[in-house]
Structure 1
Amino acid sequence: MSSTITYPSVRRDSSVLDTYTDKSSSTITINDAYRWLEDPDSKETTEFVSQQNVISEDYLNKIPYRTKFFEHLKELFNIPKFSCPSKQPNGKYYYFMNTGLQNQDIYYELDSLKKSTDESQILLDPNTFSKDGTVAIQSLNFSYDGKTLCYSVSDAGSDWSTIYFMDIASRKKLDDVITRTKFSSLRWTTDSRGIFYATYAGANDNITSDNDSANKGEKNGETVIEVTRTDIQEVYFHRIGTPRSSDICIARCVDDLNEHFFSVETSDDGQYLIADVTKGTLRESKVWILPLLNLSDSIVEQPNWLKLIDNMDFIYDFVTSQGDLLYFRTTAQAQNFRLISMNIKTKEIKEIISEDKNNILEDVTRVYEKYFVVRYLADVKSILYLYDMESGKQLRKFDLPIGTISVW
């Protein structure tokens, strides 16, 4: 175990320079010497990774207790694991479960919470998506009428994903398939006729049918899609039953929006599309609004967004809506977060729940139309309260054991 490790040499590229300007207009130039490693498919990068893997495996294989450690971990993980059930528009409940050591959690359907999980039916089993069990469900969302499930899957931990659609009643996939999506939320229009999704520049180019792909190439005998720009994210609307080539681009990160991300939500009444616009790994965001008129037929190419918040000074997490009022969990004038409402038409801001100076406001969920269930982090444990939505008055504290609460 004490043998010397000889690492492969890594080329430094002195020609890649980035210049940054701070708030005082001072500039600094930095050499990004290893940017070439950001291209995972280049020959030079794959050779470097292979050399690193040889070194790592050689070292790990010499650890005498590696097998015992692995077997003990399997024993610890070999217990049933559940997610919280969530009620969907069709009136049924859905949850993920893993019996213990399955590669992927299975997505189950249950008619009623009064029934045992033994009576659940499998809706999606990603363990059957591939022979090695590395294809995972990345995200999913039910249509407002509860008839169709939209879900995305990724292979071997990739950020790239493919979107599929399933008819819930028949359990059959629809013909619609959307490939080459990345960091994408999946949001339906309230008429259940289409979804909004995100991809990157080049992914939707030159598509003439659902089976056509842009910028095809071959690698190790498999088809590889070249996305021309990974710093320009685009948001599209796809209408169910139409070809991918007909998808409508409603937002594009160009010019001063390079390296930005769009995460979109629909308001509760479907009248608005709310875009959370962030940059890189920063959580501070802009908030843009797009009127939808509740009809997918009204969506046009590159529409004019209402820029409700057009700076990135604070975090704005969309919670819910009530007519022209949008509710956000925000760090604006509140380091530990507070809950505010914002009028879309007047931009008037009203504080609903003030900041707690000692505890962090982690989550707000609307329940029974007129209440908020509010979760705080206090002394490394979750605490839960019920608030009146209109007045912001705290109605009760839930008596819960010490632990961490997950909200679904």
Structure 2
Amino acid sequence: MASAGSGTQCSHGRPTAPPTAGTQHGTSAPDPYRWLEEPDSVATREWLRQRHSEFAAAASDWPLRTALAAEIRDLVDTELWSAPEHRAGWLFATRREAGANHPRLLAIAEGRERTLFDPEVLDPSGRTTLDGWSPGPGGELVAVQSSTGGTERGELRVLSTRSGLPVEPPVRGLRYSHIAWLSDTEAPAFYYVRRDSGSGERGIWLHRVCSDEPDVLVRSCAEPGSVPGVRLLGQRWLLATESHGTGHRTDLWLADIGASGGNAAEPRWTTVHEGRDIVSDAELGTDDRLYFRTTFGAERRRICVASPHSPDTAHWREVVPESPDATLEEFTVLGAGKDTELLVTRTRLGVSDLTVHDPRDGRTRRRVTLPGAGMANGLTSAPQGRAYIHYADVTRQQTVLALGAGGYEPHPWPDSSRVPHGEPFEHRVFWCRSADGTRVPVSVFTLSSRGDPRSGRPTVLHAYGGFGRPRQFGFSATVLAWLRAGGSYAVAHVRGGGEGGRGWHVAGARRNKPRSVQDLVAAADALVAGGYCAREQLCLSGGSAGGLLVLTAATSRPDVCSAVIALAPLADMLRFERLGLGRMWTREFGTVADPQDLTALLSYSPYHRALAAGERRYPAVLINGFHGDTRTDAAHARKMCAALQRVGYGGPILLRYEHGVGHGQRSVARAVELAADAHAFAAARTGLSPDR
């Protein structure tokens, strides 16, 4: 065998390496593929070349690969807008034309539009993405963020709205930064955040446009691994946030920078809440009151109100109470004076409803009619009491809806557009029993034209179950193409997600993470027992934290399904803190520095489960890794594939590996290729055929 770092291939194509072991708290675990953590070594490149050859050979035999790619491409070949932002006569929005790979940022005034930023012009290779944008208060400047190669670390350019040209050199090394513009249009400036230590100290910075003065750090992060945020409320109140890992806790501070003696570079902070397991965000109403969406006293969130002069929780008053069966996802403040209203969206097992409330007593004034049973998000307020909403459902492409003051039924925006036509679909929810007796909901989707969903058909079962994030049912061209071909699509709302509020999240986090896997296995068994599919017709699918779940399920119960799709998965849970952004996720998964956490991590880490189990039959597995991924390092995908190929037989173990992309956005063309390949694999393993 070769020495560590050199990596060789056996004649049967399985990678071999010496069993490098890591020891912590007296616990030793094998790690024979640690050399694959070196992404650009000669050995890793050669190993990846062989995996590419294996994947290409297998994919050439998948019957639906070409048809699914064409179907998905056709479904996404539509015009898509973002909700607009209004600034002093200007209107800013993004639009992706049919056939384009990326959206363009537009400035519109007096019916005429100008392209301010087009990623495809900047980078014809398609590897550059538009990550964010924020117009200044006067509309004359706009801050634009972009990154290249999937790294999500890029640069921020300040562009002139009138010329589209940058007015100064870019600010580099940012990662999805918040931008909070100050109101002074004569000496423009904004706050931004550095989320990681890639360039400059993590925290909130003040940048003065076209100035020789260096940027000023106005608040550094209080704790390692936290994520800073900043917003300007009403051009007077500066809100600083610091999120700690997993959605358990966000600290808030407020500063009055518009008061007499206020200093934008040296804000005087007042604590809203700090060091408590509370998650909140805030908006300032036209009545000059602060409205907080919060988990304080409400696992599924409520809305409270307070004066910005006394913003701490002791002075909060509830105005919109918590719902017992739905999670309050977003809100925005509409109108002014006696016409002030709160627009609120709640989600029940992936489906949104939209209501308007009286800000004085929380009373529901009216329900807003949505086009179907889908997802409403991205609520933004606009002049004259209007609002914009993004809406999509399982068979209906995302569209922007505009809601007029006092309205019940939103209409499409721009006025020339229309709500896309959706195909009739069946949406059923059933409940299964997990290993500890907990009832877990499962959603199942089929097209109405395909008849009874309990007729035994190829089924993709998806799960995420991490960071307290609920699964919402927006549009997916991939899912619709799968449904059109005659399959079913199911979602297991496992613990660790946000479907049941904070308690549901905590029940599947850290040392409780194995419960998320048990919930997924129970959902798979229930689908088979209920006649939705046969075992050989079932494919588990998950990405990132969901990739961890499906790989753990497959290594725990290899008979649970016929196939597994894992996109950018976590896999080596003893090394995750050293890879990508793993150091920021210890509140979600634990840390090897804690002996009890270490025991839990080792109990479900799919990389170690595969190595410890020895040779056994596994379902077919397709692992997708992205070389530029700075969140879930692609070392997880590489090492997991190597481990499964070493010990597994039965279904093929394949790695689909891409360079030049990462965890987040990518060009439409590359997104279509990824989706088609993954689901053509699932179709080949589950027997899906449009002729069923």
TM over 0.5: yes
User: Could you tell me whether the CA contact under 8 Å between 2:221 and 2:242 is conserved in 1?
Assistant: no
Contact 2:173-2:198 within 8 A present in 1 as well: no
Count, aligned residues: 358
Q: Looking at both structures, which has the greater relative contact order when contacts are Cα pairs under 8 Å and sequence separation is at least 6?
A: 2
Output one character per residue of 1:317-364: Cα deviation in whole Å (capped at 9) or x when no partner. Answer: 223356874221112221221101234443211111111213322211
| CA shift in 2, pair 1:298/1:40, >3 Å | farther
For 1:378 and 1:11, locate their aligned partners in 2 and report how far apart those are by CA, in whole Å: 50
Say if 1:189 and 1:295, in contact at 8 Å, map to a contact too.
no
Question: What does residue 198 of structure 1 align with?
Answer: 193
When the two structures are superposed, what TM-score results if normalisation uses the length of structure 1? Answer: 0.75
Q: Paired residue for 1:78?
A: 77
1:187 paired residue among 165, 174, 180: 180
- Any idea what the Cα deviations from partners look like across 1:244-301, whole Å, max 9, x if unmatched? x7011122235xx001100111112x22221221123435311122332379992336
Separation in 2 of the partners of 1:314 and 1:340?
Answer: 13
* More helix as a share of residues: 2
Residue number among 367, 371, 382 corresponding to 2:352 in the alignment = 382
Distance in 2 between the 1:307 and 1:37 partners? 45
Partner of 2:656: none
Structure 1, residues 5-34: CA drift from partner, whole Å, max 9, x if none?
A: 8454577764575x8xxxxxxxx9897968
| 1:298 and 2:298 are equivalent in the alignment | no
Partner of 1:214: none
Task: Tell me by how many angstroms 1:390 deviates.
Answer: 3.6
Give the direction of change, closer, same or farther, for the CA distance of 1:111–1:49 in structure 2 (3 Å limit): same
Q: Does 1:250 align with 2:218?
A: yes
CA change 1:389–1:253 in 2 (3 A) is same
Q: Offset at 1:109?
A: 3.3
Structure 1 letter corresponding to 2:95: M
Distance in 2 (CA, whole Å) between partners of 1:130 and 1:294 is 44
User: Equivalents in 2 of 1:235, 1:319: separation in Å?
Assistant: 19
| Structure 1 residue identity aligned to 2:325 | N
- 2:151 aligns with one of 158, 162, 177: 158
Amino-acid identity (%): 20
- TM (norm. structure 2) is 0.46
Query: Which segment drifts farther, 53-62 or 176-185?
Result: 53-62
Match of residue 376 from structure 2: 405
The question of whether the paired residues in 2 share the 8 Å contact of 1:260 and 1:278 is answered with: yes
Q: Contact (CA 8 Å) 1:81, 1:97: kept in 2 or not?
A: yes
Distance change in 2, residues 1:396/1:76 (3 Å): closer
- Name the larger-Rg structure: 2
| 2:320 match | 353
**Residue among 278, 293, 300 paired with 1:336:** 300
CA distance in 2, matches of 1:71, 1:393: 49
Q: Distance in 2 between matches of 1:202 and 1:55?
A: 36
Structure 1 residue identity aligned to 2:362? G
**8 Å contact kept, 1:190–1:294:** no
Answer yes or no: is the 8 Å Cα contact 2:284–2:291 preserved in 1. yes
- Decide which moves more: 376-385 or 153-162: 376-385
Provide, for residues 69-118 of structure 1, a one-character-per-residue CA deviation record: whole Å limited to 9, x for no partner: 3223222222222333x241122333322222311012233336xx6xxx
Name structure 2 gaps, 5 residues minimum. 1-10, 381-692
Between stretches 99-108 and 64-73, larger displacement belongs to: 64-73
After alignment, is 388-397 or 123-132 more displaced?
388-397
Task: Tell me the C-alpha RMSD between the 2 structures.
Answer: 3.5
Counterpart-to-counterpart distance in 2, 1:295 and 1:138: 36
Structure 1: stretches of 5+ with no match in the other structure: 20-27, 205-231
Deviation at 1:203, TM superposition (A): 1.5
Answer whether contact 1:374 1:384 (CA < 8 A) is retained: yes
Structure 2 matches for 1:7-406, cutoff 5 A? Answer: 7-9=14-16, 14=21, 17=24, 52-84=51-83, 86-111=84-109, 120-192=113-185, 193-199=188-194, 200-201=196-197, 203-204=199-200, 233-243=202-212, 246-253=214-221, 257-268=223-234, 270-282=235-247, 284-293=249-258, 298-300=263-265, 305-321=269-285, 325-346=289-310, 347=312, 348-369=315-336, 370-378=340-348, 380-402=350-372, 403-406=374-377
